[in-house]
Amino acid sequence: MLIVIFIVLVLLLLAVSFFFTYSAIKPNCRSVENMIDHALRKNGYPVELAEEPFELWELKGGKLKARFYPCGKNTKIMLVNHGYNAPWISMLKYLPMLRELGFAVLMQDHQAQGISEGRWITYGAKESDDALLWLEEISRRYPEAELSVLGESMGGATALLIAEKAQNLRFCVADCPYSDMKAELSFVGKRRYPWMPMGLLMPLVDLWFRLLTGCSMKDASPICHLEKLKIPTLLCHGALDPTVPVEMSRELAKKSEFITYFESETAVHASVIVKEPEEYRRRLEEISGEVRV
């Protein structure tokens, strides 16, 4: 009888961990129109911003897509990385500020999100590798351009992973990133499913994640590769963030001399630029100025 109970418990853990993993990496299938409406209402910017003219760029035979917003002679280009299940439209709030500062912007849709193709969300593991291809494409089209990277939430973690991998970036901006994928999923799991034994599930979630995506959680965890970060990096986080614990950014900031940390006391998740736009701009000007010759 004990053996039967043990087998049932193991099977139950396997089933629950698979459900949790599948739910975490499966892309949201909301329509583009629905996502635009949600993002515009959430961030409060005018609908005209979503109608700004752009060039559609493609990679991998059209599977990956991005919007290029030119600025002047495109001598400074920012690669922008959106958050979890929040394609390009969620990042439009950065566009006016970036262009005012002279940055052309390449706003990508990560694999399996927005209008890019793909099966799974990998929390920056494969997204950061795709971003390296976008950086190569930018350099091919604009060989003299200075390149930088920005992202928020999952995109913030992705931006850090890009900065840890790329050789040709001038600086990085990471807004409310998680430091460790396993810790973030465990945090979200405890909040959404308080009945789940996350301590027992996480090793199985990591296993399912490897089997389904071909990546490990370590691949998507910036803190595991922080020693490779060698460029000026602005790290922002809201103290009231309910989605990604602010302690994650505090930990990242303590462990790298290349990170300048800014914490907003009034911001929630992905809202530092909305709550403190002037300070955000000043910090961005400062970090970009650090790399000028």
What does the pLDDT look like over 18-75, one tens digit per residue? Answer: 999 999 999 976 666 666 666 666 666 666 788 889 999 999 999 999 999 999 999 9
Residue written as token pair 């970060």: 229
Mean pLDDT over 261-283 rounds to 95
Q: What are phi and psi of 66, to 5 degrees?
A: -150, 155
pLDDT at 140 over 80: yes
Q: What is the DSSP letter of 113?
A: S
Percent of the chain with pLDDT strictly greater than 70: 92
Checking if the pLDDT of 292 tops 70, the result is no
CB burial class (10 A; 0-12, 13-18, 19+) of residue 243? middle
pLDDT at position 41: 65
Instruction: Work out the average pLDDT over 121-132.
Output: 97
pLDDT, greater one: 105 or 41: 105
| CATH code, 31-197+219-289 | 3.40.50.1820
pLDDT at 6: 74
Give per-residue pLDDT as tens, 151-187: 999 999 999 999 999 988 999 999 999 999 999 999 9
β-bridge mates for residue 65, sequence order: 58, 109
Tokens of 182: 């396993």
Asked if 110 and 82 touch (Cβ cutoff 8 Å), the reply is yes
